[in-house]
């Protein structure tokens, strides 16, 4: 991405603003512990502001290493597993952003193709936002 690592970290660490770049998603902060132990709930679906026709994804932060890595545990009813964001400064103005999800649970197999596309589109939206 064409942005410094700290700018990207600050944006992804602002949980509730993630809905501005994550496709059809609203993120609610359930418990803010300033890192490990923070709990969030993300709703992805139709009209995320009203939580209609979609799925809730409940997560807890397991690893918090600003500005490089955040690991989460997905512990919801429908989605379980782990995920992480990892940032690597390539130089003072460019950062490699890696987003990985290892999901299991009732809906994981069904949504994997759509999830992959959604992550790709979301990262492109995020990259545009970081260039502004």
pLDDT tens per residue, range 75-98: 988 889 999 999 999 999 999 999
Structural domains of the chain ordered from first start: 5-131 (3.30.530.20)
pTM (two decimals): 0.90
Q: Say how far residue 79 (Cα) sits from the centre of its chain.
A: 14
Q: How far apart are the first and last CA of the chain?
A: 12
Q: Quick one: the chain helix, strand, coil %, rounded to 5?
A: 30, 45, 25
Which two structure tokens, joined as six digits, stand for 106? 């009732």
Q: Are 93 and 3 in contact (CB under 8 A)?
A: yes
Q: Residue 105 has what pLDDT? A: 72
pLDDT at 112 over 80: no
Greater confidence (80 vs 52) lies with 80
- Res 15: pLDDT: 95
CB 53 within 8 A of CB 62: no
The rounded percent of the chain whose pLDDT value lies above 90 is: 70
């Amino acid at each position: 991405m064409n942005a410094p690592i700290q700018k990207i970290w600050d944006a992804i660490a602002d949980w509730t603003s993630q809905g501005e770049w994550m496709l059809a998603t609203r993120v609610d902060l359930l418990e803010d512990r300033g890192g490990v132990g923070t709990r969030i709930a993300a709703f992805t679906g139709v009209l995320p502001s009203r939580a209609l026709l979609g799925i809730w994804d409940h997560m807890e932060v397991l690893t918090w290493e600003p500005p490089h890595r955040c690991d989460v545990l997905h512990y919801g009813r429908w989605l379980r597993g782990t995920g992480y964001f990892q940032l690597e400064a390539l130089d003072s103005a460019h950062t490699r952003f890696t987003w990985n999800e290892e999901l299991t649970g009732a809906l994981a197999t069904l949504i994997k193709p759509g999830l992959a596309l959604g992550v790709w589109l979301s990262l492109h939206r995020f990259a545009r936002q970081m260039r502004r």
